[in-house]
Amino acid sequence: MHDRTIANDIFQQLCDAIERAGLPWNRLVGITTDGAPSMTGKKNLDWSRSLQHSQFRAFLEEIESTYGDVLYFTEVRWLSRGNVLKRFFDLRAEVKRFMEDGRMDVPEFDDPKWVMDLAFLVDITQELNILNLKLQGPGQLITAAYESVKAFSTKLRLWKTQLSAKNLSHFTTCRSLVEEGSAFSGDEYASAIDNLLEEFDQHFADFKSHSDTFQLFADSFSTDVESVPSVLQMELIDLQCNSELKTKFR
């Protein structure tokens, strides 16, 4: 079913299927569903998100869009939000036309500033997703996680400088709009990056406070002995003076 999915439509489809299969109605003693409210008739899907999704998918097929569907975002798979935003951005013209066909005006799509904000959100969210993926997975050392966080902070500082100079080397979605003639306020987005950097540093403040300890485990042979806890200093000296272990490490 690609369009309406209200209870009457589902019932008619079921009846047609039974008739085509030649099944005797007098032997039908029950119907089993998953118990969803939409299947038991408690909700009219004519106004629900499912109907709009089906209609939009049919609309994309009708206009032969590059994409056949817009992605769904769920809290369970929260890393998908970057992909959802990117797909929504790519389909913004189709979404606008679909909404207007349904007699619902969406003035935001005609606002260049709003569209540029969306593009910036797409770019920065995708970068955050990359970081999130690096911080996940079993068997990951804390030192590797710290290095990923430290690298992202460095990237934020670079992006801030580049955006102030309207350098969009790493913001491809924003760059695509600029290439189409849209205006870009570098200082405004650099300020947004600065706010993100401040929140990022606050969030990982405890992480950063253990940087010397992380360095000890990441590269024990280069760690300053005086910077580590006294309980580890003697063992660290023995380790650093062991040429066999140093050779294996290198």
List the chain domain ranges. 1-47, 218-250
Say how far apart CA 237 and CA 225 lie, in whole Å.
7
Q: Quick one: pLDDT band at residue 247, thresholds 50, 70, 90?
A: confident
Q: Which amino acid is at 192?
A: A
Contact status, residue 5 vs residue 54, Cβ threshold 8 Å: yes
Count of H-run helices and E-run strands, the chain: 12, 0
DSSP code for 137: S
Q: pTM score > 0.85 for this model? A: no
Contact status, residue 3 vs residue 52, Cβ threshold 8 Å: no
Contact status, residue 91 vs residue 70, Cβ threshold 8 Å: yes
Say how far apart CA 207 and CA 80 lie, in whole Å.
26
> Which stretch of 47-61, 90-104, 168-182 has the lowest confidence by average pLDDT?
47-61
Q: Quick one: pLDDT band at residue 51, thresholds 50, 70, 90?
A: very low
Distances 14 to 75, 78, 188 between C-alpha atoms, Å: 33, 36, 56
As a whole number, mean pLDDT of residues 11-16 equals 82
Name the residue among 148, 151, 90, 152 with its Cα closest to residue 122. 90
Contact status, residue 88 vs residue 95, Cβ threshold 8 Å: yes
Contacts of 51 (CB under 8 A, 6+ apart): 3, 4, 5, 6, 45
Say how far apart CA 114 and CA 172 lie, in whole Å.
17
| More confidently predicted of 5 and 98 | 98
3-state percent breakdown (helix, strand, coil) of the chain, nearest 5? 70, 0, 30
Q: Which token pair is 235?
A: 């063992």
pLDDT for 46 beyond 50: no
Distances 212 to 151, 216, 221, 223, 227 between C-alpha atoms, Å: 16, 6, 13, 8, 7
Distances 90 to 67, 119, 185, 223 between C-alpha atoms, Å: 9, 10, 22, 49
